[in-house]
Structure 1
Amino acid sequence: MFGDWGHGICLLLAALYLVVREKKFSSQKLGDIMEMAFGGRYIIMMMALFSIYTGLIYNEFFSVPFELFGSSAYECRDPSCRDASTTGLIKVRDTYPFGVDPKWHGTRSELPFLNSLKMKMSILLGVSQMNLGIIMSYYNAKYFKNNINIWYQFVPQMIFLNSLFGYLSLLIVVKWCSGSQADLYHLVIYMFLSPTDDLGENQLFVGQKFLQLVLLLLALVAVPWMLVPKPFLLKKQHKERHQGQSYSLLYSTDDPSESQSQSVPCDHDEFDFSEVFVHQLIHTIEFVLGAVSNTASYLRLWALSLAHSELSSVFYDKVLLLAWGYNNTIVLIIGIFVFICATVGVLLLMETLSAFLHALRLHWVEFQNKFYEGDGYKFLPFSFTLLTDEDEL
């Protein structure tokens, strides 16, 4: 979202200043804004490092491209012309080794190309992070020895997510590697609307139609897999407990430090099957709909990255270069001053805050809802009036 290695370097220098002077600043009384920035100095430093990395991928330094990793793979179609936006480009060398080729900057196809690149990168990053969240739910269930959640929550969730959006990610990578002109929008939409139709020009590899049918079937099976078995297994477990039968514990909210495979005596707690089933129904609907909405939510990475790039380009072209073209020292000084103020105020402060808040939202909602439950134990404050005689002794 903040892909510009020039802005990243500025942010890194500011963060390093706060880190180097932290002993001095920690003993001083700072203002509200400065205190927040000082408290998050290490987060800002990491944000700056990742901004430099993504900026090198986008090949933008205050919106200006550089040939840092060798010469561009493209040249003007007409050797006597310097404006690639009017004559077009032809490939004369090997592909640019890292990041976006600098020749894309300023061409008529720059915006469609960057739109496609950043949108697909957003989907790949989003699906990867959501998969990580589901994998963390497996380790939660494994830690609490909760086999029901492993087999009837983790497994169908992995199948459902990757049958649809994991497959979409695979198509993106295959299209990049093969250079195919397949329309992925059409391909994914008609995978649901007309799964048996011939793929035609949108076929990327052999056996793709059969694979789509299998994945669609797996996604349909995963939904009742998540919904039905768990409430009945919990009911069966409660029934065995109520009858005083000993059994190996499948699901427990007890202290995880205690042994989970011991025999459990009878328990007369009531089991409301309808409440458990409704809870599981809500959880299933939330995951199925969330798989679509959460993936779409990661497109904010593309939108904010594009906004940052376009704002940076506007400030450079319409302020700095415009002032430079007047050949007047006073106008140039004013232009540089306005450019610096706009860069610091809008791009380094407002855009940094915007990118941070959106990244925080993606971690909090799209990522953590895959594994975080927030159940814990009810807080009971200490009270002398609640002490029994045995506790007092």
Structure 2
Amino acid sequence: MAEARVAGGGCCPPMDLFRSEAMQLVQLIIPIESAHHTVSYIGDLGHVQFKDLNADKSPFQRTYAAQIKKFGEMARKLRFFKEQMEKAGVTPSTKPMTQTEIDVDDLEVKLGEFEAELVEMNTNNEKLQRSYNELVEYKLVLNKAGGFFSSAFSSATAQQKEIESQQTGEESLDTPLLQDREISIESSKQVKLGFITGLVSKEKSMLFERIIFRATRGNVYTRQAAVEEPVIDPVSGEKVEKNVFVVFYSGEKAKTKILKICEVFGANRYSFTEDFGKQVQMISEVSGRLAELRTAIDAGLLQKSKLLQTIGDQFVQWNTLARKEKSIYHTMNMLSLDVTKKCLVAEGWSPVFATNLIQDALQRAAFDSNSQVGTIFQVLHTSESPPTYFHTNKFTSAFQDIVDAYGVAKYQEANPGVYTIVTFPFLFAVMFGDWGHGICLLLAALVFIIREKKLSGQKLGDITEMTFGGRYVILMMALFSIYTGIIYNEFFSVPFELFAPSAYACRDLSCRDATTVGLIKARPTYPFGVDPVWHGSRSELPFLNSLKMKMSILIGVTQMNLGIILSYFNAAYFRNSLNVWFQFIPQIIFLNSLFGYLSLLIILKWCTGSQADLYHVMIYMFLSPTDELGENQLFPRQKTVQLVLLLLALVSVPWMLLPKPFLLKMQHQAV
């Protein structure tokens, strides 16, 4: 039980501040007339995690399935409105709405009316837009195909006049009568050609012409003209580059083949006449019809925009209400009816500190719902393991999310998120380490923090929303980066003499070639951070890399020790001696026998100024533990210490891995 576990934490009082909140299993007996208000008010608190008491029932068999379906349908309509507003460029109002009481049934009727009106508007607009696009294509066909026929007629007229003039000059009495008979016979055999006009996609135009030629075995004549600007296709509604085509054919079989090919290629066909007078009349009629349709479409869009603006003024409030009501009934479906069917029984986990808050919410729910009977609140005694609940705020929530992404601590275990508030941004800063970049990061974080009230109510993009959620993490990273950047003495990778002049000066001209050979110590040691003289010298890379790498090892080993120490406090808190003897002790021995020893060598080398090669020391500690260290020896009897540490590390591995599984199996079998 939660109270028992809290009472049992006296072994380490300071650690209780970093543990999850004490949880209790509570039962609520709620009158049906106040159930909606009760669930709503408790849900607003956010301190109760309800248990599903109807897990054996399907969603359709539960008590409030109809209400969930109703609000799901309302949510669908609101999503439809949102899509329409995005297409029309209408932004939902972000002004704070006055808290007015909204009748759910009236809202359902209103949303249905708005949806029916929008659907009708969309249908009419699509029909008008399709007719408009068809007329635009028809006008293009009339203009382009008319140009084909007019040029062909002019050419034919000129050729006819030329032939007649030639025949008039060459006629004589010696012309045989048989020749006139042959010409008249040939004229009588001439066949009138049919034609099909329309538009086809420019990408498919060459293939379209080639297929028609092959299908009719070359017994067609095709002409095409490109349309200067893309046109909206009446079928797809997308802008497409097209060509106007005219296909001349002879015979019904050829016509049938051409029509099928047009259907396959999505070519839109339009009627056309050879009469020039009718062509001009048709162009005039189409132009007038286009103007009328444009006026009708604009009027429809204006009416639709007004309707969407009306919806947008209250969209946020309606959407919030629909989502909240659906979540309330979803929670109520987790509750069970008592035998009298007049009350709902709820069970859930709540923090112990929230008991008074929950009772106040229950009283307000009973008052607002005018219920004659109040809700019964009682704590249940159970052996179930409670869920983990960490009470966070806007500053600590992002750090807790980082920890929870790797794993959630068990109930009443020490919370690593508290230490992460310091360790995570500091380890980032150790790598980042530039106070110029740190200032830029700090300014970005301050922009989000100053405008957090405004931004928290807006829908942000994925990256922006993630950055906004971690604004305090970025703030801490920026502050630590400025600190480590000053230690590294780097401002956009440029050193500055911030606290004092450099401690070194050139003895002669020999140090001007970016070496440190000619430098002498002329002033006191640089008071804070890296002396600027190291930057730009040939010793910069080995010096700073050694500093940063060794410092990272020290910080990393410290953090690993912290994690192992937390495991000890967890084991001591739960009185789990198995974890103390077979997890904490071998882990702490193994870590510090190797990496703790390396950290000690780094500190000794810094303090003594030794030239020992630590790589060599650690490698040959395993490969040749009995060899003499020579110049790599940092303290007396170092070889003996290394042998002992190596033996402890080797012993701790089986100590850590083997006994615990067998002991746990024995405990399980004993139970």
User: What's the TM-score, normalizing by structure 1?
Assistant: 0.58
- Give the distance between the partners of 1:207 and 1:94, measured in 2 at CA: 36
Pick from 222, 228, 250 the counterpart of residue 658 of structure 2.
228
Q: Match of 1:85, SS?
A: coil
* 1:36 Cα offset (Å): 2.0
Does structure 1 residue 49 correspond to structure 2 residue 479? yes
Paired position in structure 2 for 1:176: 606
Paired position in structure 2 for 1:156: 586
- Give the distance between the partners of 1:183 and 1:68, measured in 2 at CA: 33
Pick from 110, 132, 136 the counterpart of residue 566 of structure 2.
136
Which letter maps to 1:52? Answer: I
- Give the distance between the partners of 2:511 and 2:568, measured in 1 at CA: 59
Paired position in structure 1 for 2:503: 73
Aligned length: 241
- Give the distance between the partners of 2:464 and 2:496, measured in 1 at CA: 34
Does structure 1 residue 213 correspond to structure 2 residue 643? yes
Identity across the alignment (%)? 80
- Give the distance between the partners of 1:78 and 1:179, measured in 2 at CA: 26
- Give the distance between the partners of 1:81 and 1:128, measured in 2 at CA: 39
Pick from 179, 187, 190 the counterpart of residue 617 of structure 2.
187
Q: Match of 1:14, SS?
A: helix
For 1:355-392, what per-residue CA distance to the aligned partner results, in whole angstroms no more than 9, with x for missing partners? xxxxxxxxxxxxxxxxxxxxxxxxxxxxxxxxxxxxxx
Q: Match of 1:75, SS?
A: strand
- Give the distance between the partners of 1:80 and 1:186, measured in 2 at CA: 34
Pick from 92, 96, 100 the counterpart of residue 530 of structure 2.
100
* 1:169 Cα offset (Å): 0.5
Pick from 438, 442, 448 the counterpart of residue 12 of structure 1.
442
Residues 82 and 231 of structure 1, relative CA distance in 2, 3 Å threshold: closer
* 1:134 Cα offset (Å): 1.1
* 1:100 Cα offset (Å): 1.1
Residues 106 and 152 of structure 1, relative CA distance in 2, 3 Å threshold: same
Paired position in structure 2 for 1:349: none
* 1:228 Cα offset (Å): 2.9
* 1:127 Cα offset (Å): 0.9
- Give the distance between the partners of 1:161 and 1:142, measured in 2 at CA: 20
Instruction: From the two aligned structures, give the one with the greater strand fraction.
Output: 2
**8 Å contact kept, 1:16–1:45:** yes
Paired position in structure 2 for 1:91: 521
Q: Match of 2:505, SS?
A: strand
Which letter maps to 1:75? Answer: A
- Give the distance between the partners of 1:85 and 1:79, measured in 2 at CA: 11
**8 Å contact kept, 1:12–1:45:** yes
**8 Å contact kept, 1:76–1:84:** no
Cα root mean square deviation, aligned = 1.9
Greater CA drift, 222-231 or 177-186: 222-231
**8 Å contact kept, 1:78–1:87:** no
Which letter maps to 2:457? Answer: S
Q: Match of 1:25, SS?
A: helix
- Give the distance between the partners of 2:604 and 2:453, measured in 1 at CA: 51
Which letter maps to 2:522? Answer: V
- Give the distance between the partners of 2:585 and 2:600, measured in 1 at CA: 20
Q: Match of 2:530, SS?
A: coil
Q: Match of 2:476, SS?
A: helix
* 1:235 Cα offset (Å): 4.1
- Give the distance between the partners of 1:19 and 1:87, measured in 2 at CA: 50
Residues 105 and 29 of structure 1, relative CA distance in 2, 3 Å threshold: same
* 1:161 Cα offset (Å): 0.6
Paired position in structure 1 for 2:632: 202
Paired position in structure 1 for 2:356: none
- Give the distance between the partners of 2:619 and 2:510, measured in 1 at CA: 46
Pick from 123, 128, 145 the counterpart of residue 575 of structure 2.
145
Paired position in structure 1 for 2:546: 116
Residues 176 and 81 of structure 1, relative CA distance in 2, 3 Å threshold: closer
* 1:233 Cα offset (Å): 2.7
- Give the distance between the partners of 2:589 and 2:435, measured in 1 at CA: 38
- Give the distance between the partners of 2:511 and 2:432, measured in 1 at CA: 33
Which letter maps to 1:55? Answer: G
Q: Match of 2:515, SS?
A: helix
* 1:82 Cα offset (Å): 5.3
Which letter maps to 1:105? Answer: H
Greater CA drift, 79-88 or 182-191: 79-88
Residues 80 and 221 of structure 1, relative CA distance in 2, 3 Å threshold: closer
* 1:238 Cα offset (Å): 4.2
Does structure 1 residue 25 correspond to structure 2 residue 430? no
Residues 80 and 220 of structure 1, relative CA distance in 2, 3 Å threshold: closer
* 1:6 Cα offset (Å): 0.8
For 1:64-86, what per-residue CA distance to the aligned partner results, in whole angstroms no more than 9, with x for missing partners? 11112222222223169755438
Residues 115 and 86 of structure 1, relative CA distance in 2, 3 Å threshold: closer
Which letter maps to 1:169? Answer: S
Unaligned 5+ runs, structure 2: 1-430
Q: Match of 2:520, SS?
A: strand
Which letter maps to 1:119? Answer: M
Residues 23 and 101 of structure 1, relative CA distance in 2, 3 Å threshold: same
Residues 99 and 149 of structure 1, relative CA distance in 2, 3 Å threshold: same
Q: Match of 2:432, SS?
A: coil
**8 Å contact kept, 2:511–2:518:** no
User: What's the TM-score, normalizing by structure 2?
Assistant: 0.35
Instruction: Write out aligned runs for 1:281-296 (5 A).
Output: none
Instruction: Write out aligned runs for 1:263-282 (5 A).
Output: 267=671
* 1:204 Cα offset (Å): 0.7
* 1:184 Cα offset (Å): 0.4
Residues 38 and 168 of structure 1, relative CA distance in 2, 3 Å threshold: same
Paired position in structure 1 for 2:116: none
Instruction: From the two aligned structures, give the one with the greater helix fraction.
Output: 1
Unaligned 5+ runs, structure 1: 242-266, 268-393
Residues 88 and 50 of structure 1, relative CA distance in 2, 3 Å threshold: same
Residues 227 and 80 of structure 1, relative CA distance in 2, 3 Å threshold: closer
